[in-house]
Structure 1
């Protein structure tokens, strides 16, 4: 066993010290939001709340959870995240599997269409016209249909599927399996890192999206959680006493409701991430090393 010198110990101390500093700087904003959400709103305006609530209260959460619009928005957001991410992962993987086949005709044309679609956009107004012609406006489908195919992950998935040994497909074809059965029984099970990475990124994008709810939806029953958060943020210009009168609680402010909604929106992602972390770490290395 090699003996460690004083210089090695000093370097380790500096490196771990810097890592600890980066960790604190990264996590503290989330911790601060959590602390403010459990502190009285009017007391938070005075400042000086940094590490723990000065006046502990659950009033912010009581006001937040007493509004049925938040429950409805949370349900819509959860539904669009699950359905949107699931359809996007399935369709993107299916299209990528077809493009990864070496014997595919007009392959260059298909890839050219994908590249153009990824780098160029028609703009908001043509996009709105297309959604209107497809009768997707003011419906739940407007959240999931336009995102069913991810061109970015499509290229990554094509590269991943090309690395899968052809012998697996050939042996399955010899046993009489068709392409769909090969895709479902062989390709998808060995593509767990790819699918988990796609699901995480697409799911977080669906969870955080609010522009589509603001531009393409008019029904309050279809508003998302992030859209409701933006409404609360826009109310930050209202005087504190007006917000307190509207909520019926003298200690609740628009800012305290903002941070409370942030905590509620962050918790689901934090709970889901540990289950995908193992596959996510492997998926981030896709295409980075070639043998």
Structure 2
């Protein structure tokens, strides 16, 4: 039998509901306001006083964004670096972690020492630039994906993950004649989906949001990322120049701020689209179904 709510219970429920509503509103309203800006005339938004719905509804911001080859090119570069960078980062980090997880690995402690030192000490930006230049990565697409192929933070997490996988799984496969590559791809990876999903989401988000490498190590405008373009707008270094471009923005009621907001909305969509497919792995058991007691 459910206990009948008293007056005190109703008052407490009301207070909790109000507090939760305020928290949700404060959390979600900034995102809604950015979306609101993209659906309103940029010149009208500059006037201010718009809070809950567009005063002059328009899709001009999105049309201008889609018609600008620089934004489209930057979106493509960001998408490509995210896909390639995430795939390479997860693959190589997983391979190295699988090797270091072997307790009988020669010089295992030395490798761990190298990883810990590399995590806590850096040669600095100049030394990093010299290394990239010596490898021929400056002003190339490779500068986006190659330096991040080994993620040291997730390397330690993956090592801990792999060491907790029962060795009986690999030993039974070796008895059947399976190679280490086959064991890794057919046995270890399938039971490591929570780890792989978490690595993919965080590495992918890092690749998608990165802009410093595009600012420091790339001069080719065709290789600029979406976040770099957004930072240009924020720093007011990409103010429209030229009579033709200024006139085009004036006719379409588009402003640099409205384009920045549009780019922000567009940049959020891919992450929102991927996250629901990976979320279920965050709460799944690490060894669920792999070993039956």
TM-score of the pair, normalised by structure 2: 0.90
Q: In the TM superposition, what is the alpha-carbon distance from 1:272 to its structure 2 partner?
A: 1.3
Aligned length: 284
SS at match of 1:270: helix
Contact 1:240-1:254 within 8 A present in 2 as well:
no
Between the aligned partners of 1:237 and 1:142, the Cα distance in structure 2 is 24
List gaps (5 residues or longer) in structure 2: 287-293
- In structure 2, the CA distance between the partners of 1:219 and 1:238, relative to structure 1 (3 Å rule), is closer
Between the aligned partners of 1:259 and 1:126, the Cα distance in structure 2 is 36
Q: In the TM superposition, what is the alpha-carbon distance from 1:282 to its structure 2 partner?
A: 4.2
**Residue of structure 1 in register with 2:183 after alignment:** 182
Q: In the TM superposition, what is the alpha-carbon distance from 1:235 to its structure 2 partner?
A: 2.7
Between the aligned partners of 2:267 and 2:2, the Cα distance in structure 1 is 49
List gaps (5 residues or longer) in structure 1: 285-291
Bigger shift: residues 275-284 or 118-127 = 275-284
Between the aligned partners of 2:241 and 2:183, the Cα distance in structure 1 is 61
CA RMSD of aligned residues (A): 2.4
**Residue of structure 2 in register with 1:119 after alignment:** 120
SS at match of 1:212: helix
- In structure 2, the CA distance between the partners of 1:177 and 1:239, relative to structure 1 (3 Å rule), is closer
**Residue of structure 2 in register with 1:3 after alignment:** 3
User: Structure 2 matches for 1:15-34, cutoff 5 A?
Assistant: 15-34=16-35
Between the aligned partners of 1:105 and 1:241, the Cα distance in structure 2 is 64
Deviations 1:10-65 (A, max 9, x none): 55444444333222211111110000111011111111111111110111112111
**Residue of structure 2 in register with 1:266 after alignment:** 268
- In structure 2, the CA distance between the partners of 1:26 and 1:198, relative to structure 1 (3 Å rule), is same
Contact 1:197-1:283 within 8 A present in 2 as well:
no
Q: In the TM superposition, what is the alpha-carbon distance from 1:266 to its structure 2 partner?
A: 1.0
Between the aligned partners of 1:163 and 1:16, the Cα distance in structure 2 is 42
Between the aligned partners of 1:275 and 1:101, the Cα distance in structure 2 is 31
Whether 1:80 aligns to 2:59 is no
Q: In the TM superposition, what is the alpha-carbon distance from 1:206 to its structure 2 partner?
A: 0.3
**Residue of structure 2 in register with 1:53 after alignment:** 54
TM-score of the pair, normalised by structure 1: 0.90
Q: In the TM superposition, what is the alpha-carbon distance from 1:181 to its structure 2 partner?
A: 0.7
**Residue of structure 1 in register with 2:278 after alignment:** 276
Contact 1:236-1:255 within 8 A present in 2 as well:
no
Between the aligned partners of 1:84 and 1:61, the Cα distance in structure 2 is 27
Deviations 1:114-139 (A, max 9, x none): 11111111111000000001111011
SS at match of 1:52: coil
Bigger shift: residues 205-214 or 220-229 = 220-229
- In structure 2, the CA distance between the partners of 1:281 and 1:244, relative to structure 1 (3 Å rule), is farther
- In structure 2, the CA distance between the partners of 1:123 and 1:34, relative to structure 1 (3 Å rule), is same
User: Structure 2 matches for 1:210-249, cutoff 5 A?
Assistant: 210-235=211-236, 244-245=246-247, 247-249=249-251
